[in-house]
A and B are shown apart, each in its own frame.
Chain A
Amino acid sequence: MKYGFYPGCSFKSAAGYQLSVAALTRAVGIEFVEIPDWNCCGATVFFSLDDIKAVALAGRVFALAAAGGFREIVTGCNACYATLRKSAELLAKKPDYLSALNRGLALEQLHLAEPLPVRHILQVLVDDLPHSAWASQTKRGFESVPVAGYYGCQLTRPFGDADDPEQPGILERFIKRLGFQPVAHSAKTLCCGASHGVPYGDECSPLIARIVRGAHEKGARLIATVCPLCQFNLDQGQQRASGLPKLPVLFFTQLAGLALGLPPEELGLDQLLISAQGVLRQR
């Protein structure tokens, strides 16, 4: 299976995300084809400054994907996921936005008839791959490793259609499928502070602390996340906050790689600030 893949600006520098996704797709036999010449989705910034430009950014990505012959866009970043979908909604609702967009696209010999559906890598792995893709090889003794799934905000909000906005379950199902032990907890979709983490780190660290404590209280020894910014905030946030248990924060794709028995170096586990080796060895 081939997918039009939208990495987003943070994908490359996210701890082992790119590596693990590459290794994983190879292993399970699907292909993520990078959308040529993609541009930033504008994240929350452009909707805060100039929404027509925000729509333009997403619109160009849709147009490029469509030109590349793709019917949907797959991304691994919550912000990209929500922002692209938000713009798609606007484009569908406001014809004048669409025409403005196409005026610009014309300069690049591009055109967009209608926005494309957007999906998260997690949804692809869970919905498009058969159970057997994982089940056949999930006897690696990870059952004893309690993992807390952490979704962050923008995968389940504002669009509650993918899963419950507060207590989703898709990640836990995947973690279980991979042979790890999912932990039920209440911090799944609490906010990590997102981009406020840099200018307002002190204000955000209580948020991070609450998430980590929430997971730790329920016996989790790993956190599995689905978003580069979440991973970054939790990973480095635990360092600065004192008196916190240090829980390694992995991407769900890294867990999947481990479940399939891929070597840790291929999964970029060495890029985590809080190492997972201890936990994984003790299993």
Chain B
Amino acid sequence: MSAYQKPKIGVYVCHCGMNIAPKVDVEAVVRFAGNLEHVATAREYKFMCSNPGQELIVDDIRQGKVDRVVVASCSPRMHEPTFRKACENAGLNPYYFQMTNIREHSSWVTLDSGEATSKAKDLVAGAAARVAFHAPLSTRSVPVKKAVLVIGAGIAGMQAALTAAEAGFQVHLVEREPSIGGHMAKFDKTFPTLDCAACISTPKTVSIGQHPHISLHTYAEVRQVEGFVGNYTVTVSQKPRYVLGDKCTGCGLCADACPVGLVNDFDQGLSERKAIYRAFPQAVPLTYCIDKKDSAPCTRTCPAGVNVQGYVQLIGKGRYEKAVRLIMEKIPLPGVLGRVCPHPCESACRRREVDEALSIRDLKRFAADHIDWASLPLPRIEERSHKVAIIGSGPAGLTVAYDLRLRGYQVTVFEKLPVLGGMLRIGIPDYRLPRRILDREIDYLLRLGIVAKTEQAMGRDFTLQGLAEEGYAAVFMAIGAHGGLKLNIPGEAETTGVIDAIAFLKAVNLGRTEKPGEQVVVIGGGNVAVDAAGVARRLGARKVTILYRRSRQEMPAYEEEVEGALEEGIQLSCLTFPLRILSENGRLVGIECLRTALGPMDESGRRRPVPVVGSEFIIPCDAVIPAIGQRTDAPWAAQEADLVWGARQTLAVAAESMQTSMPHVFAGGDVVSGPATVIEAIAAGHRAAEAMHRYLQGETVVADLPKKQAVSVPGQVDGRRSNEDDLVPIPTATVSKPRAVSPHLPADERISSFDEISCGLSEEAAGNEANRCLNCGGCCECTECVDVCEVKAIDHNMPERSFQLEVGALILATGFKAFDPTPLTNYGYGRLPEVYTSLEFERLNNATGPTAGKILMKTGHPPKRVAIVHCIGSRDSRYRKYCSRVCCMYSMKFAHLVREKTGAEVWEYYIDIRAPGKLYEEFYNRVQEEGVHFIRGKVAEITDIPDNPEDRGRLTVVAENTLTRRTSRVPVDMVILSVGLEPADGSADVGKITGVSRDGDGWFNELHAKLAPVSTPVNGIFLAGCCQGPKDIPDTVAQSMAAAGEAVALLSKGTVKTRAEISYIDPDLCSGCRTCMAVCAYSAIRFDEALNVAKVNEVLCQGCGSCAAACPSSAAGVRHFTDRQVMEEIEAILR
């Protein structure tokens, strides 16, 4: 169809009543149009969109006067379909029509009638020029998917879902929360009829749960929406609720058993709930839900990955044995670590933001000391045949032995000394770690079937070769670092009375009892130095001095240990540097020292000590104990040539797997890391055990070893939680409580014996301490719930799941959120306890709420005087400029309920009462008659400063009574802030995902306030309830039914017409570069391999034109927007 067949164009100019005519000189435009090329007729009419108006066009076409139509009127968005239909009825292809907008684009945008008219002419000229080159287009119809997706299950979503389902369509109802009902489920009564919210919404929630056509997806969110009207594919992701819906009976035993108390959001924080919970008894679905955040900072900080929050909560609940078993999932020696762990967990404790960190280590010790180890049940072990040798019985060795034994391996531990425990045994004095504690816990390990051979020294009693021959398939080397470093100062070697700290401690731990000397000098600033000093003191040394070359701040020893030492009368000589050991005929008589001062930082980040010249002095003494560090002691090294050593006499291993140069030999602990902490040794042990297990199972060793994972024992939570910072917020109401400290023996008693210094926490103290825990991770994974659940409905390892839904239409019902009045500090919300938000009051007044429906103050007494303050956040250009529409009415409902339930006096502070609605004004009237005081004036401030002594403890509400012109100061017991409505959190995302635009306040845009109030600019997506703007329940329900009606109407048609204005690709021009396929947002272009050209799928294509823009060989174009058509239009306008 080309222009040269002389098209006969009809131009029809609309007055649009007074909208166009008065500004645009319609006659002139018609005259002008008449003279345009190809224009056969030009007419005007008051309302072209009216029947008579359309008739004009139809007749001209029928009579053959015209075969192209231009209408100059309003926005095509409104009436293009109308006129296209008219052309079609008259037998003309609807795309031989062009509409131009001389209302919004001409008459409405200028005051100057001349300008308006000339622009109208240009637009008409353009349209006429364009239409001449229009081509007939046809649409095709495709079937729609007969299902609806409703997002949000408040009263709006529920109603829309029910209506659509009743019409016989499949409905998917997606709700973000674990249960449905939205805000209405929190209400008690509803205005103006005061019927109870539950009576209205519960039947709906129930039938939602039971309706054959409704599939409910709670705790789920829509992630992606693809496709087009009638044919949407929606991706939904569903958070794990860790409880199986098909099994859970809602009995609630789990919640009773759960130790974790959290703030109850459903009650607006006015009450507590457990980590496993259900919003309220009638909740749908009744399935419980576990509130799991990311793992708590303490847990994630523990090098061994112990579930700290878990055992702390178990201790709080008195379940000591279970606490110990939980600890032992990651630590073989709980009582030991409960004493000597450097507790990095405590520095990560969020309780410090309130007051002080929890005494986590003391709690661990408490649990370990309060169970009967002899009767501690052994886990079920499935035996394996492999033999494994562990060399060294320190923390690293014992950890590997433990982990591998639990996995069923035949484990033998070889220990050089006559006793087990390594450094724990010989390095740490009894008064810090009593022998019996170590024994009781090692005994338990042996009960597991770990074989221990003592006095077996490597190189002397066995070799790696030999072990291999005896059938040990893997070996773990954990020989520690037992060799002391020398001072390397004059006099050291040749003098008796110089004894290395480790050797000294070992000797004492193995039974030595005589004191090293009367006056002992210990050299070094670490824990070993402090221990050596403490031991020397206990053995009866009169004077013990610790020499340290840096200042006290730099001392590596734990502050508490240093403090303890000082209490025991041990002297500390910092900034002191040993020069020479002084001796008289081989007998030690003293040590010559030099004062030092702190110089610049060294590589360790600590200030380097520099000697002060001429500051030499002498400390008389008869024993010197160097404690300046340890090294590995491996006399056999030469025999085991295949073992490669690293720096500073440590064994070289692969960092991840702890595997040495010999594939079947692994190593960990001090022998690898150099002197380090117990917990680090245990962490290394876990890593090695995991690697050895894989090695023995013939798997690759190194691949993705979990950093701080222990072996997982059957039935254990796999701890697959992320270490992000989605943690339980610290409750604002948290009152600071002092940290529990375990009492210490008095210093004088201490030095006379080796009794343990720290006496441990009392049962009461431990309980209180555990209750200080903030439960950062939400659920603590203590599995108490699992134990009590009779139907085995709980699965702590439930994954998040994601699925797709095929629907023809969507209904958005994402609702609102209540305005947070905290920023309005003159009302004292959050600061003055008796100031409530309206939502809080709804809960206070609700039978299932924190006070079981009694209106009580925090004191537990009912209020005598109550103020209700309107327009909080609404009608306020600083916050929300709009009126939230419902506040006046619910405020008066509150007034009525307060009067009814408590008989209290009530003051309503309002600016204007807005009661537009059936029976609303009557309700206002009723509340007035009930004796509520109405004060016309916005409250200026709410203060707790009483005007009169008798009002002490009350709040004073200050406002101008604008009708009496006086400032009124009313003392009240309770204030309710009538907060406005805001778009729900996340509605921005829903907007992005669905493509539905939002207005300046964030509410979703309807297509047209009057013509299409529940439709959106996106075809096939509709709006229900407050997500479109504040509204009350009656309006919401009506609108929801309307939205469902629209959706049903769409789906009932069975088919939708695809667009005619879609892309085409000229196969002759297409070079097959596939650029278009990359840019197409609707994946509507496929490639024809045979012809080596791209082809457009006419159903999927939305005519966006990306391909046309991207195509390098201009083979792609969009129908009805061809270059020719567009250019002709532009040229005509510019002409």
A touches B in complex, CB < 8 A = yes
Q: Are A217 and B831 in contact (CB under 8 A)?
A: no
| Among candidates B831, B944, B946, B952, residue contacting A167 with C-beta atoms closer than 8 Å | B831
Q: Give B990 Cβ to nearest chain A Cβ, in Å.
A: 33
Residue from A166, A185, A214, A217 in contact with B826 in the complex, judged by beta carbons closer than 8 Å:
A166
Chain B residues with Cβ under 8 A from A186's Cβ? 828, 832, 943-945
B513 beta carbon closer than 8 Å to chain A: no
Q: Judging by beta carbons under 8 Å apart, are A166 and B946 in contact?
A: no
- Output the least CB separation between A249 and chain B (Å): 17
A-B contact pairs, 15 of them (CB 8 A): A165-B825, A166-B825, A166-B941, A167-B825, A167-B831, A185-B945, A186-B828, A186-B832, A187-B945, A210-B945, A213-B945, A213-B946, A214-B945, A217-B946, A217-B952
Is the pair B945, A164 in contact by a Cβ cutoff of 8 Å? no
A9 contact set on B, CB distance < 8 A:
none
Q: Apart from A187-B945, A213-B945, what are 16 other A-B pairs with CB-CB below 8 Å?
A: A164-B825, A165-B825, A166-B825, A166-B826, A166-B941, A184-B831, A185-B945, A186-B828, A186-B832, A186-B944, A186-B945, A210-B945, A213-B946, A214-B943, A217-B944, A217-B945
Interface members, chain B 828-842 (any A CB < 8 Å):
828, 831-832
Q: Which of B832, B941, B944, B945 has the most CB of A within 10 A?
A: B945
Per the bound structure, the CA–CA distance linking A185 and B952 in Å amounts to: 14
Residue of A nearest to B944 (CB): A186
Least Cβ distance of A207 to chain B in Å? 11
Residue of B nearest to A216 (CB): B945
Closest A-B pairs by Cβ, 3 of them: A214-B945, A166-B825, A167-B825
Q: How far is the CB of A133 from chain B (nearest CB, A)?
A: 19
Give a binary string over A175-195; 1 marks a CB under 8 Å from any B CB, 0 the rest.
000000000111100000000
Q: Which A residues lie within 8 Å of B945 (CB)?
A: 185-187, 210, 213-214, 217
Chain B contacts with A in 898-953, Cβ cutoff 8 A: 941, 943-946, 952
Which B residues touch A164, using CB under 8 A?
A: 825
Instruction: Report A's interface with B, CB cutoff 8 A.
Output: 164-167, 184-187, 210, 213-214, 217
Q: Tell me the nearest residue of chain B to A211, going by C-beta.
A: B945
Q: Which residues of A contact B831 (CB under 8 A)?
A: 167, 184
Q: Inside 8 A of B943's CB, which chain A residues have their CB?
A: 186, 214
Q: Which residues of A contact B946 (CB under 8 A)?
A: 213, 217
**A213 and B943 alpha carbons, distance in the complex (Å):** 12
Least distance between B305 CB and chain A CB atoms (Å): 35
| A40 to B825 Cα, complex, angstroms | 33
Residues of B within 8 A of A167 (CB): 825, 831
Interface size for B (C-beta < 8 A) is 11
Q: List B residues at the A interface (Cβ < 8 Å).
A: 825-826, 828, 831-832, 941, 943-946, 952
With both beta carbons as reference points, the residue of chain B lying nearest to A188 in the complex is identified as B825
How far in angstroms is the closest Cβ of chain B from A51? 25
Q: Which residues of A contact B825 (CB under 8 A)?
A: 164-167
Residues of A within 8 A of B941 (CB): 166
In the bound complex, how far is the Cα of B953 from the Cα of A217, in angstroms? 10
How distant is B975 from chain A, measured CB to nearest CB, in Å?
A: 13
| Assembled-state Cα–Cα distance A213/B825 (Å) | 20
Closest to B824 in A: A166
Smallest CB-CB separation from A166: which chain B residue?
A: B825
A187 to B947 CA separation, bound complex (whole angstroms): 13
Bound form: Cα–Cα A214–B826 in Å? 15
> In the complex, A217→B826 CA distance in Å?
19
CA distance A217 to B828 in the complex (A): 17
B826 closest partner in A (C-beta)? A166
Q: Tell me, rounded to whole Å, the shortest Cβ–Cβ distance linking A135 to chain B.
A: 15
Nearest chain B CB to A219's CB is how many angstroms away? Answer: 13
Docked CA distance A167–B832 (Å): 12
B908 to chain A, nearest CB (A): 23
| A218 nearest CB neighbor, chain B only | B944
Residue of B nearest to A243 (CB): B949
What is the minimal beta-carbon distance from A157 to any residue of chain B, in angstroms?
Answer: 12
Distance (whole angstroms) from the CB of A86 to the closest CB of chain B = 20
Q: Which residues of A contact B828 (CB under 8 A)?
A: 186
| CB-based nearest B residue for A164 | B825
Bound Cα distance A164, B830 (Å): 15
Residues of B within 8 A of A214 (CB): 943, 945
Complex CA distance for A140 and B825, rounded to whole angstroms: 34
Q: Which residue of A lies closest to B828 (CB)?
A: A186
* A184–B830 CA distance with the chains assembled, in angstroms: 13
Docked complex Cα distance between A165 and B825 (Å): 8
A170 to chain B, nearest CB (A): 14
Contacts of B832 in A (CB 8 A): 186
In whole Å, how far is A43's beta carbon from the nearest beta carbon of chain B? 25
Determine the chain A residues whose CB is within 8 A of the CB of B826 once the complex forms: 166
A165 contacts across to B, CB distance below 8 A: 825
Q: How far is the CB of A130 from chain B (nearest CB, A)?
A: 18
CA distance A165 to B878 in the complex (A): 14
Q: In the assembled complex, how far is the CB of residue A176 from the closest CB belonging to chain B, in whole angstroms?
A: 13
Q: Report the minimum CB–CB distance from B942 to chain A (whole Å).
A: 9
Residue of A nearest to B955 (CB): A186
Complex CA gap A185/B825 in Å reads 12
The residues of A that contact B944 with a CB separation of less than 8 Å are 186, 217
How distant is the Cα of A185 from the Cα of B831 in the complex, in angstroms? 10
Report the minimum CB–CB distance from B828 to chain A (whole Å).
7
Contacts of A184 in B (CB 8 A): 831
A185 to B828, alpha carbons, bound, how many Å? Answer: 11
Cα of A210 to Cα of B952 in the assembled complex, Å:
13
B322 CB, min distance to chain A CBs, angstroms = 41
CA distance A55 to B946 in the complex (A): 41
Whole-angstrom CA separation of A164 from B826 in the bound complex: 10
- Interchain nearest-CB distance for B778 vs A (Å): 30
> Shortest Cβ distance from B896 into chain A, in angstroms?
31
What is the bound-complex CA distance between A214 and B952, given in angstroms?
11
Q: A217–B943 Cα gap in the complex (Å)? A: 12
A118–B935 Cα distance when bound, in Å, is 42
CB distance from A14 to the nearest CB of B (A): 26
- How distant is A173 from chain B, measured CB to nearest CB, in Å? 15
The complex places the Cα of A167 from the Cα of B825 at a distance, in Å, of: 6
User: Would you give the shortest CB distance from B472 to chain A, in whole angstroms?
Assistant: 58
Kindly report which residue of chain B lies nearest to residue A214, judged by CB atoms. Answer: B945
Residue of B nearest to A217 (CB): B945
B832 nearest in chain A by CB position? A186
Which B residues touch A213, using CB under 8 A? Answer: 945-946
Chain B residue at smallest Cβ distance from A165: B825
CA distance A166 to B825 in the complex (A): 6
Complex Cα distance A37/B622, Å?
Answer: 74
- Which chain B residues lie closer than 8 Å to A166 at the CB level? 825-826, 941
In the docked arrangement, what's the CA distance between A185 and B944, Å? 8
Min C-beta distance of B120 to chain A, whole Å: 42
B342 to chain A, nearest CB (A): 26
Smallest beta-carbon distance B971→chain A, Å: 14
Across the two chains, which residue of chain A brings its CB closest to B947?
Answer: A210
CA distance A185 to B946 in the complex (A): 12
Question: How far apart are the CA atoms of A164 and B825 in the complex, in Å?
Answer: 8
The docked-state distance in angstroms from the alpha carbon of A72 to that of B362 is 54
Cα(A263)–Cα(B825), bound, Å:
39
What is the CB-to-nearest-CB distance from B823 to chain A, in angstroms, rounded to a whole number?
Answer: 8
